[in-house]
Amino acid sequence: MILEHFAIWSADIDRLKDYYCRYFGGIANEPYHNTMRNFTSYFLRFGNGARLELMQQPGIPANLNDTVAQHLGLIHLAFSVNTLQEVDDKALELHQVGFLLLKGPRKTGDGYYEFETLDPDGNRLEVTCNYPI
């Protein structure tokens, strides 16, 4: 079984598309528009074949998660890189352009080196790599 894609509702899918393409190497398709539903989406493709769907439609309520309080359900997306240095480099890059680092970079007890951040809509992201425990 292969995980095919995740989807994120957003009030500004162009802003999110630009973020994920610029900082995470996503490749976007042309936007899909459904005029009957007033719905627009992009699919972004990443190197391993997984995709991220960015969706926009009026009337979708705001996400209740924030940097402190989290709620049940999907809580973060994780991007994997090959080295600890790549984790550090991405953390520095995002920090230097003004994105908040929530935790890390740090080694976890389960064999990851990672940091946590937020995308422009406040969705949690991790950038990780495996390290020997």
Q: What is the extent of the structural domain holding 94?
A: 76-130
Share of the chain above pLDDT 70, in %: 99
Q: How many domains does the chain have?
A: 2
Clarify whether residues 13 and 51 are in a common domain: yes
Answer with the residue of higher pLDDT: 133 or 106. Answer: 106
Cis, bond preceding 105 (omega within 30 deg of 0): yes
Please give the structure tokens belonging to residue 123: 């969705």
pTM given for the model: 0.91
Please give the structure tokens belonging to residue 66: 């924030």
Answer with the residue of higher pLDDT: 15 or 4. Answer: 15
Clarify whether residues 37 and 82 are in a common domain: no
In-domain check, residue 26: yes
Distance CA 66, CA 69 (A): 5
**Which residues on adjacent β-strands are paired with residue 117?**
101, 125
In-domain check, residue 17: yes
In-domain check, residue 11: yes
Per-residue pLDDT reduced to its tens digit, 61-118: 988 877 777 878 888 999 999 999 999 999 999 999 999 999 999 999 999 999 999 9
Answer with the residue of higher pLDDT: 46 or 133. Answer: 46
Assess whether pLDDT exceeds 80 at residue 132: no
Please give the structure tokens belonging to residue 90: 């991405």
CATH of the domain at 45: 3.10.180.10
Clarify whether residues 95 and 51 are in a common domain: no
Answer with the residue of higher pLDDT: 70 or 46. Answer: 46
Q: Angle at Cα 39 formed by Cα 33 and Cα 43, nearest 5°?
A: 65
Assess whether pLDDT exceeds 80 at residue 41: yes
Q: How is the chain split among helix, strand and coil, in percent rounded to 5?
A: 20, 35, 45
